[in-house]
Amino acid sequence: MSFVYAQKIGQSIAIFADTKITFDTGAPHFFGPETEKRVRQFGMIKNIIVSKNFCICFAGNNILYANELLQQINSVSLEQILQLALNINRKDIANGAEFIVCYADKTTQLIYQIKDGVCEELPLAWVGSCQAFNYFQGVRHGVYRQNIESNIPYSYEVLTGTASFIPENSTYENLLNNFYKTVFDCGDDSVGGFVVPILFDQKTNQFWYKGYCRSFSRMKVTSRGLSMPMYQGSPDGAYSILFYHSPQNVGIYIPQNQWGIIYNHYRPNSDDYHISQTASFLTPYAIKMNQLDFYVQTGAHGMSPPGFLGIDPDRIEDYLARVWHYKDNPELAILYIDKAIEIIEQQHREEWRYSELLSIRHNIQAGL
């Protein structure tokens, strides 16, 4: 199943989805073995930004129906998208796919719910697990406490996010907290994985995957009293999720085990690109890498970290060390020398190194 929720907030739209995928149909046959392994572990993106003003979300027992819609949305109108989604939903109402279609620009914000053979425009919509939705409503109305039932004894949850870009940011944050609690604690095994939030930004006139940081850590006693670091190490049983701000793909970093996860159209085996039945999905690519590498390499694709990064991103020496590390890979090395140059240009410090770094960059560029 799944759980996806969308709601108008002022002149914006907020959309939330989980990532868990359960393979109850023939869908596994339409992924290559490595891609299927990653999807089983990290799930998929179910709220997909298909253009700066359109977002399509899906839930249901057969993801192939969702791919069928995503394959047909290029160069079609909103009305055509809604009709396509309704036709697909009516093929198999009991075990097919349900959809939420969102459109937003500076003057218009629309949410459409397509399920049970009906297409409706609504101020809020949900698809997927009824159990999860009922639990979500219970959290919103105070039936359940908002804090997540962490498996770390005597622990608390700490959260931060990227800078707000809507006046009603507190409403958005409450919805995110409620949805997070629901995904972790609603009791429906078909709902889980990461929480993926989307928010429409009036200033840039586009949907964004909205960055956040969630950390679960054990309380510690210090000379100043009780304290909880933003994140601790894995020996403490703590873990953190750094969800990167992005206009298209999804980036998640877990510092404790140094896992970087990117959801995009990349497939690990070239044969996977010929599998049309699942070609439109954003699937996970996971790799062990240090946090500076994830920060720099995702930044090259338009992603930015949430407000709390956990490392010092302004140490020029760290970038120069990575330039040397990637000396045999100029496409990566140039990303790090560019960051070092950017720090000097923006912060006007260590300017005596500027000409040297430009020379290094020139040599790397020659290698390209």
Do residues 196 and 239 both lie within one domain?
Answer: yes
Q: Against a cut of 0.85, is the pTM above it?
A: yes
Co-location of 271 and 326 in the same domain: no
CA dist., res. 231 & res. 160, Å (int)? 12
The answer to whether 308 touches 253, Cβ cutoff 8 Å, is no
Residue 188 domain-assigned (yes or no)? yes
Residues 272 and 333 in one domain: no
How far, in Å, CA of 252 to CA of 240, rounded?
A: 10
Q: Which structural domain, as residue segments, surrounds residue 342?
A: 316-367
Specify if 306 maps to a domain.
Answer: no
The total of structural domains in the chain comes to 2
- Rounded-to-integer distance, Cα 285 and Cα 229, Å: 29
> Does residue 320 share a domain with residue 295?
no
Q: Three-class SS string for the chain?
A: CCEEEEEEECCEEEEEECCCCCCCCCHHHHCCHHHHHHHHHHCCCCEEEEECCEEEEEEECCHHHHHHHHCCCCCCCHHHHHHHHHHHHHHCCCCCEEEEEEEECCCCEEEEEEECCEEEECCEEEEECHHHHHHHHHHHCCCCCCCCCCCCCCEEEEEEECCCCCCCHHHHHHHHHHHHHHHHHCCCCCCCCCCEEEEEECCCCEEEECCEEEEEEECEEECCEEECCCCCCHHHCCEEEEECEECCCEEEEECCCCEEEEEECCCCCHHHHHCHHHCCCCEEEEEECCHHHHHHHHHCCCCECCCCCCCCCCCHHHHHHHHHHCCCCHHHHHHHHHHHHHHHHHHCCCHHHHHHHHHHHHHHHHHC
Quick check: 168 and 9 in contact, CB under 8 A?
yes
Q: Examine the domain organization and report whether 148 and 289 are in the same domain.
A: yes
In terms of domains, do 215 and 158 share one?
A: yes
Residue-level pLDDT, tens digit, the chain, 368 residues: 799 999 999 999 999 999 999 876 555 568 888 998 999 999 999 999 999 999 999 998 888 899 999 999 888 899 999 999 999 999 988 888 999 999 999 999 999 999 999 999 999 999 999 999 999 999 998 887 666 665 444 444 566 666 777 778 889 999 999 999 999 899 999 999 999 999 999 999 999 999 998 887 655 545 555 444 444 455 555 778 999 999 999 999 998 889 999 999 999 888 889 888 899 999 999 999 999 999 999 999 999 998 766 778 889 999 999 999 999 999 999 999 999 999 999 998 889 999 999 999 999 998 87
**Residues 278 and 321 both lie in one domain:** no
Do 194 and 322 reside in the same domain of the chain? Answer: no
Q: Could you tell me if 55 and 90 lie in one domain? A: yes
CATH assignment at residue 84: 3.60.20.10
CB atoms within 10 A of CB 327: 12
Alpha carbons 50 and 304: distance in angstroms, whole number: 19
Long-range contacts (CB closer than 8 Å, 24 or more residues apart) made by 220-223: none
